[in-house]
């Protein structure tokens, strides 16, 4: 999609769910943006004082992201296949961000996403995820979606849900210490 220039999800508007965390009291740790695309959210976090790693499978998107900001560690990574590309972040990430990547992954991709989340997160880390529910079959365009039950199952045991979700498509979790 990035290569074809078809990126309907793109907007430079930073969602309040993220600005609240970016400038909040526990701000300025290490953040990992999974499926960062062209990097608007990662760049915003970097400008807010965070040390940020932005990972995306698309070289095209990361090229745009690099042009957007030099303050982020941009990486071309398929998070469902190259999980060891993020091994250097093990136990170091205070904020895991995913705006629209998880809900497009396969079932195996979900498991690998959860593996990455659990690998990189510090105790007490936050996870902020925007994911839409399944749209039913057959879906031709757009993400397949992921149910709240599935998101909770992926993060459920080692994370707990915070009750400040601005709307049902946002998930805000904290890792258990
Ligand atoms: C809907 S876009 C959202 C991009 C960005 N987070 C935003 O909000 O603008 C989903 C992104 O996930 C990336 N993506 C999909 N599968 C991925 C994977 N296996 N590993 C890394 N990135 C992936 C896509 O390349 C795309 O940039």
Tens-digit pLDDT profile for residues 89-140: 999 999 999 999 999 999 999 999 999 999 999 999 999 999 999 976 665 6
Q: Is there an atom of ligand 1 within 6 Å of 82 CB? A: no
* pLDDT (0 to 100) of residue 116: 96
How far is the centre of ligand 1, averaged over its atoms, from the C-alpha of 6 (Å)? 12
| Strand, helix or coil for residue 173 | strand
* pLDDT (0 to 100) of residue 1: 65
pLDDT digits (tens, 9 = 90+) for 59-98: 999 999 999 999 999 999 999 998 789 999 999 999 999 9
The contacts of residue 172 (CB under 8 Å, 6+ apart) are: 17, 126, 127, 128, 129, 161, 162, 164, 165
* Of 115, 117, 143, the residue nearest 128 (C-alpha): 117
Q: Is there an atom of ligand 1 within 6 Å of 86 CB? A: no
How far is the centre of ligand 1, averaged over its atoms, from the C-alpha of 98 (Å)? 8
d(CA 127, CA 32): 10
pLDDT digits (tens, 9 = 90+) for 28-56: 799 999 999 999 999 999 999 999 999 99
Q: Is there an atom of ligand 1 within 6 Å of 39 CB? A: no
Q: Tokens 């070289």 label which residue? A: 59
């Amino acid at each position: 999609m990035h290569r074809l220039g078809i990126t309907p999800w793109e907007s430079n508007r930073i969602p309040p769910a993220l600005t609240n965390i970016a400038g909040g009291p526990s701000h300025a740790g290490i953040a990992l943006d999974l499926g960062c695309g062209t990097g608007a959210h990662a760049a915003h976090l970097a400008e807010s004082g965070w040390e940020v790693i932005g990972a995306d499978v698309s070289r095209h998107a990361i090229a745009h992201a690099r042009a957007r900001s030099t303050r982020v560690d941009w990486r071309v990574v398929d998070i469902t296949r190259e999980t060891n590309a993020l091994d250097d972040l093990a136990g170091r990430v205070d904020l895991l961000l995913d705006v629209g990547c998880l809900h497009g992954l396969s079932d195996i991709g979900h498991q690998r996403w959860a593996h990455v989340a659990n690998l990189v997160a510090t105790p007490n880390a936050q996870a902020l995820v925007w994911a839409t529910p399944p749209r039913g079959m057959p879906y031709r365009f757009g993400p397949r979606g992921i149910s709240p039950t599935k998101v909770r199952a992926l993060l459920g045991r080692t994370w707990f849900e915070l009750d400040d979700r601005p709307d049902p498509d946002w998930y805000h979790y904290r890792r258990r210490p």
